[in-house]
Amino acid sequence: MTTYLGCIADDFTGATDLAGLLARSGLPVSLRMGVPDAPPADTAPFEVIALKCRTAPVAEAVVETRRALDWLKQAGAERFFWKYCSTFDSTPEGNIGPVAEALMQALGTDQTIYCPAFPENGRSIFMGNLFVGRQPLAESPMKDHPLTPMRDSNLMRLLEPQVTRPVGLVDRLTVAQGADAVRAALAALGTEGVAHVVVDAVANGDLEVIAEACRDMPLMTGGSAVAMPLPSLYRAAGGMGEDAARFDPPQVARAAVVLSGSCSAMTNAQVAQYIATGAPALRLDPMTLAENGHGSALDWLASQDLDRAPLIYATADPDAVRRAQEALGRARAGEIVEQALAACALAARDAGARRIVVAGGETSGAVTQALGVDRLDIGQEIAPGVPWTYCTSAGHRLALTLKSGNFGAPSFFTDALERA
């Protein structure tokens, strides 16, 4: 099947978020975990490749995204989307800007847009400043993120040190005038040599305007929501087969496990609420893991009734995360936890778990890699940007949900388990 849009996501929860929003169109979306080794076959109109490169060294992220681009080109895609976090998570070195520049160069294009807005999840952009709910990004809980603390809310200032060419803005006043005004503003910026354009959006209507204005750009970049209108726009333009069947989720056994490595404020609330329901829960402490390994977590898991969906979590408040990072280093603390949760996922699968709920993008990357999952089919959305997905791991059909740190209601874990 022709691929209309080739998407590259910088983490695994971000990729399921994007795939879930594209799938709202009813058109088939295929999500590949990492760049497939085999050349494209059995492709969908919307292909998403999930990478784990949000916090990778810049050179590594550029190489991986270029490989993904080549695969998507081979699949026939002519337009591309670079998906990063709706809270613009990146280190001062990158990787959002350097990857965008590398993709632009490979595609021979001089301009792209940056629109991480996701109004349904409270992310809006006004005058180039990103808000999380009513708080500027740098005053939101994102200031304490374990890997990418966000200490500035201005997207132009965040992007400038990451790119070599000029950065500009199309503001909300222009977006409010419609797609032609956005196109004209982009063209005017283009004549001034502005390659990287942040575009304001505060509501889904703004995203529809922006998508309409930018749908023919070789490369768009942003959060998932600005891509959401694209399937309908491409379908309306004609030429897209209507016969592609929507994915029909399989029945999976009830046995489940919940694995949480996200330390976001929302995941902290979700863990607390799930424990309050009486669910069995085990807290992992990075310092203890560093000293003793994760054997005792596996022993605990082996003693659990998986029909009660036990929770294993390293989720902690910012002070506890800081203490662990001071003792072990930021990257090492993260890795130890990711390895432990990945080992728990494998053990749970081998013990019969067929529904696995994972919280956190890096954590999801570690878990899906451990499970050897290379492709996910997109099922029902549990919360905006968090669908159930289905895959095969060691011959077992599994339902997997990869929850972005900040997404979902406080009742998310129960909500998820009630819906698959």
Ligand X SMILES: Nc1ncnc2c1ncn2[C@@H]1O[C@H](COP(=O)(O)OP(=O)(O)OP(=O)(O)O)[C@@H](O)[C@H]1O
Give the interface with ligand X as residue ranges (CB under 6 A): 11, 13, 145-147, 261-264, 267, 286, 314, 316, 320-321, 324-325, 333-334, 337-338, 360-363, 404-406
Nearer to ligand LCNOYBR7 by C-beta: 86 or 267? 86
Dihedral of CA 262/266/268/269: which sign?
A: negative
Q: Which amino acid makes up residue 229?
A: P
What is the C-alpha to C-alpha distance for residues 168 and 41, in angstroms, rounded to an integer? 39
What is the C-alpha to C-alpha distance for residues 302 and 233, in angstroms, rounded to an integer? 50
Question: Binds 264, which of ligand LCNOYBR7, ligand X, none (CB < 5 to 8 A, cut-off by type)?
Answer: ligand X
Q: Shortest Cβ contact with ligand X: which residue? A: 405
Nearer to ligand LCNOYBR7 by C-beta: 141 or 385? 385
Question: Binds 388, which of ligand LCNOYBR7, ligand X, none (CB < 5 to 8 A, cut-off by type)?
Answer: none
Site string for ligand LCNOYBR7, 105-124 (x = CB under 6 A): -------------x------
Instruction: Retrieve residue 64's tokens.
Output: 């991986």
Cα-flanking dihedrals φ and ψ of residue 119, to 5°? -55, -35
307, HSE (Cβ side, Cα atoms, 13 Å): 0
Quick check: 385 binds ligand LCNOYBR7 (CB under 6 A)? yes
Nearer to ligand LCNOYBR7 by C-beta: 85 or 263? 85
Among 7, 11, 196, 387, binds ligand LCNOYBR7 (CB under 6 A): 11
The distance of Cα 191 from the centroid of its chain, to the nearest Å, equals 33
Omega before 95 within 30 of 0, i.e. cis: yes
Minimum distance, C-beta of residue 114 to ligand LCNOYBR7, in the bound complex (Å): 13
Distances (CA, A) of 33 to 122, 347, 375: 27, 21, 6
Q: Which stretch binds ligand LCNOYBR7 (CB under 6 A): 12-20, 158-166, 312-320, 321-329?
A: 12-20
Quick check: 17 binds ligand LCNOYBR7 (CB under 6 A)? yes
Instruction: Retrieve residue 326's tokens.
Output: 């001071």
Minimum distance, C-beta of residue 70 to ligand X, in the bound complex (Å): 26
What is the C-alpha to C-alpha distance for residues 157 and 318, in angstroms, rounded to an integer? 25
What is the C-alpha to C-alpha distance for residues 16 and 348, in angstroms, rounded to an integer? 22
CB 83 within 8 A of CB 224: yes
Instruction: Retrieve residue 255's tokens.
Output: 């046995």
Minimum distance, C-beta of residue 280 to ligand LCNOYBR7, in the bound complex (Å): 27
Quick check: 361 binds ligand LCNOYBR7 (CB under 6 A)? yes
Applying CB under 6 A, the residues found at the interface with ligand LCNOYBR7 are: 11, 13-14, 17, 85-87, 118, 223-224, 361, 385, 404
